[in-house]
Amino acid sequence: MTSAHLAALQRSHLLATPSADPSASPLSEAGDQIGEGLNDFATWLLGAPLRIAIILVVGALTLMLLRRFIRSVTEHLAEGKPFYQRGVLRPLGESEMGAVLARANPLAKARRAQRSRTIGSVLHSAATIVVGSLMLLLVLGQMGVNLGPFLASIGVVGVALGIGAQSVVKDFLAGIFILLEDQYGVGDVVDLGPATGTIEAVALRVTKLRDADGTLWYVPNGTLTRVGNHTQEWSRAVVEVKVDYFADIDQVRALLEEAAAKVAADPVVGTYLRDQAVVTGLEDLSAEAVTLQVSVKTSPAMQWEVARHLRREVRQLLDDEGIPLGGQRDLLARHQEESASMSPTPPDGHVPPGASDQTPDADLPGATRPRRP
């Protein structure tokens, strides 16, 4: 092989061998690895963590807005500001007509505040549970957790708790509907079946009731099958009067109407009346007495006070007119004879004017004196 051939082979070998890249170095390789790591981290960060952060932020904002809305609504209900005192109708509410409307529709402040704030606490708890549960499920789903067994376990636990505490759940549901429907509230006189008295507190599980003897009853809301509210919106005072069988019914009716007029003219009790009194005819007829009835519509919880004043006026008028109550005719005649025998007379036997007027004996029930001329 000649020298020329050797030179040609060396040149071909040099051409076939790749030349070293002057830019390739360990530092550049490390930079490439860091760049790839950052790209991988950015890809991961923009995946599940970002979605979880968005879920948490959106859930927190939603819960905050719900709580703020619930708080504003419950505070508005607690204050009890009517519709004609809000918005474009505010000038009407501030006028004299608005004051008249406010007086015509009074509200029990304690009852309204307790009902609204209790409903607010229930809505707060419900919003927290619902939004928190949704956030937890969404976050677990983004973390790759299999929610099937988890939801099945929660369902089994919920069924067990529902069976074991169904009476408590029933009490709470009944309490929610009692508050929402405003069946009764603090200060109402109600008949709950087991007890009758004045409501002192209404909670979600129990109702506190104070009866006439001072006993405080705790009645679970889920046990109530019927409720009789004696003091909601308006009431009615009813007084039954049993007079002698042979009494003049028209005269007795006139006396009852006169008694109702006197009660209506009372400066205090008369403000409790919402309508004119109604005197009905013969409600009952027996061998001893004839029953008449006088009734009048009153403000809530004022029917007992009005009925007491009606009875007092009726008794006074019947006493003045000498009309005996049922079964009291013989007692009245005996009382009149005793009063006549005990009354002093002058020596000449002359009876002065007015001496026939008799004073009723307080010891004899139903006793009356003769009608004055």
Choice among 36-45, 143-152, 270-279 with the minimum mean pLDDT: 36-45
Q: According to the model, what pLDDT value does residue 313 have?
A: 92
Give the chain's length. 373
- Residues of 108-145 as b/e, b for ≥16 C-beta within 10 angstroms? beebbbbbbebbbebbbeebeeebeeebebbbeebeee
Query: pLDDT tens digit string along 56-68?
Result: 889 899 989 998 8
Q: According to the model, what pLDDT value does residue 263 have?
A: 92
Residues 6+ apart with CB under 8 A from 51: 142
What mean pLDDT do residues 247-270 have? 90
Q: According to the model, what pLDDT value does residue 1 have?
A: 52
What mean pLDDT do residues 349-364 have? 43
Greatest mean pLDDT among 71-80, 119-128, 193-202, 339-348: 193-202
- Predicted structure pTM score: 0.56
Query: pLDDT tens digit string along 362-371?
Result: 343 444 444 4
pLDDT > 60? residue 240: yes
The band of 7, judged by pLDDT with boundaries at 50, 70 and 90, is low
Higher pLDDT, 119 or 237: 237
